[in-house]
Amino acid sequence: MLGALRDSNRSSFSIVHYSVQPNHIHLLVEAESASLLSSGVRSLSVRLARRLNKLLSRRGRVWADRWHGRPLTSPRQVRNALVYVLQNHKKHSTMPFGSALDPLSSAEWFNGFIEEPPVGFRSVGPPSVCEPKTWLLQKGWLRHGRLTLAESPRAL
């Protein structure tokens, strides 16, 4: 499934971070315009649906026709969104995690934590994310401090 994320990256639409939950996905993406964002999300939805249907030997609709997008315009919003996406397993998990990081996220490829990731931590699969292009996602968010492994997400 993570291959669908990787295969959806284009020069005009790129997935910078993700978190896969049991019944939904959180993404931080960059797109050159609103129409390219919509097109990129639609393409990703089709890729994921096709792969899920094949994996489950079924046909038909996988997703509801909705997604929630919010433009992030300030360093604080971006930092909060990074915590929300990368630490979302803490919000949804009913079992205690042995790791402070979620293996079904892009946490392995995020270099903005204060602490080193736990020894042996790996995200599932090969990298499926792109380096950020915008100042806000590259370094703007750092104005409000690096993330800690102990942080939990709040509502956005």
**Which helix (H) or strand (E) covers residue 45, if one does?**
helix 34-55
Choose from 103-107, 127-131, 139-143 the range with maximum mean pLDDT: 139-143
Residues 6 or more apart whose CB falls under 8 angstroms from that of 111 comprise none
**What is the share, in percent, of the chain residues with pLDDT greater than 90?**
46
For 148, list phi and psi in degrees, rounded to 5. -105, 155
55-88 confidence digits (pLDDT tens): 888 888 777 767 788 999 999 999 999 999 999 8
Task: Name the β-bridge partners of 13.
Answer: 31
DSSP assignment of 65-126 equals S--------SHHHHHHHHHHHHTTHHHH-SS--SSSS-TTBSGGG---BSSPPPTT---SSS
pLDDT band at 94 (very low <50, low <70, confident <90, very high): low
Sign of CA dihedral 80, 16, 35, 67: negative
pLDDT band at 154 (very low <50, low <70, confident <90, very high): confident
Pick from 147, 149, 152, 125: nearest CA to 20: 125
What is the C-alpha separation between 16 and 64, in angstroms, rounded? 23
Pick from 98, 95, 102: nearest CA to 153: 102
32-59 confidence digits (pLDDT tens): 999 999 899 888 888 888 888 888 888 8
pLDDT for res 96 = 56
pLDDT surpassing 90 at residue 135: yes
